[in-house]
Amino acid sequence: MEQRDIDTELADATELLDATSSGHLAYTAKDGTPRVVPVGYFWTGEVFVIATAPTAPKATALVARPDVALAIDAGGTPQETRSLSVRGRADVRVVDGVAEEYLAAARKSMDAAAYAQFEQSCRAMYPQMARIAVTPTWARYFDFGAGRFPKFLAELAERSGQSAAGHDGGQG
């Protein structure tokens, strides 16, 4: 996928990226088997930053096998469903203290008092963190309510005369 296409997909997903800070990271474990784990992330505009303890299984596995996938989803109904799928390469670096992006991601979902307590706890718990920076090499954004579907689903719906979202929300 060309970089301009990746940039367009990520720009189209800005509202989703601003609204959430959690997703699912897929990677290959040290034993060669696939893993999918929930993660918090912070989008810098260039990379997705995930932070964890340096001893976490994903941190050590990603050093050996840096190819990953990241899924970020939102929406409680088919019409509200938005999803960003990203493939990329992870760069793992151990940093002293708490990765600033880890705190920035938490700040998005907490009020000031909760955040202050969270930050204090993190600074006490983590003398170091593994800062995992995922650089996108491929991205695709879907917004079912806006009619932005996977190509195969749009084609199937067109052939069958149905809405690709599975229903038309009573609008058609």
DSSP state string for 130-156? EEEEEEEEEEEEEEGGGTB--HHHHHH
Please tell me the chain's helix, strand, coil percentages from 3-state DSSP, rounded to the nearest 5.
35, 35, 30
Between 41 and 152, the higher pLDDT residue: 41
pLDDT tens across 49-96, in order? 999 999 999 999 999 999 999 999 999 888 899 999 999 999 999 999
Kindly provide the residue ranges of all beta strands, DSSP E only, lying in the chain, ordered along the sequence: 22-28, 34-40, 42-43, 48-52, 67-74, 82-96, 128-143
Confidence grade of residue 166 (pLDDT, cut at 50, 70, 90): low
Q: How many CB atoms lie within 10 A of CB 51?
A: 25
Name the nearest CA neighbour of 25 among 1, 56, 47, 58.
58
Name the nearest CA neighbour of 130 among 53, 48, 77.
53
Q: Please tell me the distance from the alpha carbon of residue 72 to that of residue 86, in angstroms, as a whole number.
A: 9
Q: Please tell me the distance from the alpha carbon of residue 70 to that of residue 88, in angstroms, as a whole number.
A: 8
* Alpha-carbon distance values, 63 to 38, 40, 87, 115, 130 (Å): 19, 19, 16, 31, 11
pLDDT given for residue 150 in this prediction: 85
pTM of the entire structure? 0.88
Domains of the chain: 3-160 (2.30.110.10)
pLDDT given for residue 163 in this prediction: 65
